[in-house]
Amino acid sequence: MGLENLILLLVLGVIFLPFILAIGCLVLVMTCPWSRNFRSGYVNLLLKIFQYGTGRIESAEQKKLETIKEKNGIANGNIAESVDLVEDNCSSGHAIIKSSAMSKEDLVLLPNGNSSPKTSIPKNRSFNSLKNDFILSDCLDFVHAGVEAIIEDEVTQRFVAEELKSWNLLTRTNRHYEFISIRLTVTWIIGFFIRYFILLPSRITICFLAVIWLTLCTGLVGFLNEGAMKRAIYEKVSIWCFNFLSCALSAVITFHNKENIPKCGICVANHTTPVDVMVLHCDNSYALIGQRHGGFLGIIQRALARASAHIWFERSEVKDRETVAKRLKEHVDDPDKLPILIFPEGTCINNTSVMQFKKGSFEVGSVVYPVAIKYDARFTDAFWNSSRHSMIQYLYMMMSSWALVCDVWYLPPMHRRAEESAIDFANRVKAVIAKQGGLVDLSWDGALKRMNAKKEWKQKQQEEFSKRLKVE
């Protein structure tokens, strides 16, 4: 029986050896500096094409402006009115309510108590004065603020695609810019052919080969004995494999402040997409923590677990905070293990803001290494809306986009101050990441993506509202 197994292994080795060597050669070619320079040149070419498309759109809008002016007899000097009329006729997007009596900072539900002196109701009015001086228009600002909060609240805007200032020649828009002019239509058709008939098949092939290569390499590393040599080999292999995997998205990643690269402890970053893990692994190795998955993500998880220490939880264990904290602390306290990568938001946000950080990862250690990630939305919408798209659908959308372009900033390590709570420490780290990445710093919990607001949050807003109606 042993001889038969040996012969079988030799036969399989002879059959698959050319295939493995071919993948290895492809990895060397795709991860060399020449390949990175080629991708950078490809991105620069796309920018010039986008500028050309923007120019064609502006020219078409200008022609429509002149046509509407002639049709409606608008005077040449009345440019403001003509622009408004063109927007009404040409824009198919949904309008946004504009503040008139009160600015966004003066909404009645804000807790600072400041309001517009022209239209606000004083905080302390007697019942008689309120009864005698009541004007129906007094309530309009409250109604306005309520309607604006429903339509443009800060939370739901963070779970939709980021709005672009200029069109990127993708059809994921409702404005149909590809039909504005013949030249732009031809450009869009050529781009469509390149994306779906050249880039998409080649990217799927590269992704398939990269997953096989990652599984093979981590499997071989897993046979090594635990120690410094295994960690050093895994660091090189993982960076190499993830750089190959990034080619499946034509990734162009710029890393800043490499002197702050984390080598141990806890690394926290803002979260836009599962691809964040691949992006950060292209420059450094990390241990990961999270829930066990099946399918494509499950294959990656099992491959990584063979070669290094990662923390994977079953669905029933994720809600057990003591178990999570214990295993996390054991990992952080071991100097021989890789820095653990955590996304404290707990869900994907649409690349415009940073939402509430969970305090759990800030209770374990006193040192945290912040990392800020910002994607360039002109080339692809990196945000994964998991409530609308499956992982396969999301990868299809990413691979059929132009490229994945992003910046990564390594920030100096931050220490928890004496008498500072874990929540305050988390908020301080979040503010630093938001500032560096040019993101909006929000205190709302990203879990509102899938659940209703907590009762105490509603009560707090009701209390603030009642203070403005308080009478003596």
To the nearest 10 degrees (0 to 180), the angle between helices 228-246 and 200-221 is: 170
What SS3 class is residue 407?
A: strand
Kindly tell me if the per-residue pLDDT of 92 is higher than 60. no
- pLDDT band at residue 102 using 50, 70 and 90 as cut-offs: very low
Q: Where are the alpha helices (DSSP H) in 173-294?
A: 182-194, 200-221, 228-246, 275-281
Q: What is the pLDDT of residues 106-154, one digit of tens each?
A: 444 443 334 444 444 454 555 555 555 556 666 777 777 777 766 666 7
Strand partners, 333: none
Residue-wise pLDDT for 364-410, tens only, equals: 877 899 999 999 988 998 998 887 888 889 999 999 999 999 999 99
Q: Which of 310, 281, 303, 275 is nearest to 395 (CA)?
A: 275
CA angle 222, 329, 237 (to 5 degrees): 25
d(CA 333, CA 359): 18
Contact 53, 177 (CB under 8 A): yes
Q: 3-state DSSP call for residue 317? A: helix
pLDDT band at 98 (very low <50, low <70, confident <90, very high): very low
DSSP per residue, 290-302 = EE---HHHHHHHH
Q: Which CATH architecture has domain 214-443?
A: 3-Layer(aba) Sandwich (3.40)
* Partners of 237 in the β-ladder: none
For 93, counting Cβ atoms within 10 Å of its Cβ (0-12 exposed, 13-18 middle, 19+ buried), the class is: exposed
pLDDT tops 60 at residue 268: yes
Listed residue (121, 87, 119) closest to 103, CA to CA = 119
- Is 60 exceeded by the pLDDT of residue 2? no
Q: Residue type at 201?
A: P
- Picking from 430, 408, 414, the residue whose alpha carbon sits closest to that of residue 369 is 414
Provide the whole-model pTM.
0.77
Please state at what angle helix 295-307 crosses helix 200-221, rounded to 10 degrees: 30
Tens digit of each residue's pLDDT (9 = 90 or more) over 312-343:
877 666 566 777 778 888 888 888 889 999 99
Strand partners, 352: none
3 state SS of 288: strand
